[in-house]
Structure 1
């Protein structure tokens, strides 16, 4: 069973998370998710353990206080592959911004050359 744990204190490590859940049974893996750019915890993680032990851990740890914060513990849902979303940030928004070409009402300057007669 894959378990989602959120609202973790930023000081909680993989080992801390594993230790917390080992009270309920054997833990296959425990991972606190870190921000790639800052290296700081994002405040959530995942724990993999057997179904019966996992359900007991969810029942007892959901809304429990851990390291000064009330954590939320639930069955992890698979990440949705939603192709309709733009992906956030600026990736999906191709337009906007800037003053774009000639649309501002200004005519482009003529290229005056000494060889041309006017």
Structure 2
């Protein structure tokens, strides 16, 4: 199972549209759209879980694809960097 990051999503994308976009390449096991707490609109990114070969096909097929004027960014999720900034 691979977790993908999808960025540069339009603010008005729906969960149905988001999952259908990836379902072209295989079965979507789990998804999560980042939403604004107050407006409920998409914050421009989300995550998808798919099988390995299907996830790689989705990356190839969707990365750079235009969706309502936005060029999508799709790649494997990277772990958060643990930097030196922030509170201690």
Instruction: Check whether TM > 0.5.
Output: yes
- Return structure 1 stretches of 4+ with deviation > 4 angstroms: none
1:31 corresponds to 2:18: no
Q: TM-score, normalised by structure 1?
A: 0.66
Q: TM-score, normalised by structure 2?
A: 0.86
> Which entry has the higher C-alpha Rg, 1 or 2?
1
Between Structure 1 and Structure 2, which shows a larger proportion of strand residues?
A: 2
Q: Which runs of 5+ in 1 are unaligned?
A: 93-118
Aligned residues: 87
Q: Which runs of 5+ in 2 are unaligned?
A: none
Instruction: Flag the structure with more relative contact order, 1 or 2, with Cα contacts below 8 A and sequence separation at least 6.
Output: 2
Between Structure 1 and Structure 2, which shows a larger proportion of helix residues?
A: 2
Task: Note the C-alpha offset of 1:36.
Answer: 2.4
Q: In angstroms, what is the RMSD of aligned CA positions?
A: 1.7
Task: Note the C-alpha offset of 1:78.
Answer: 1.8
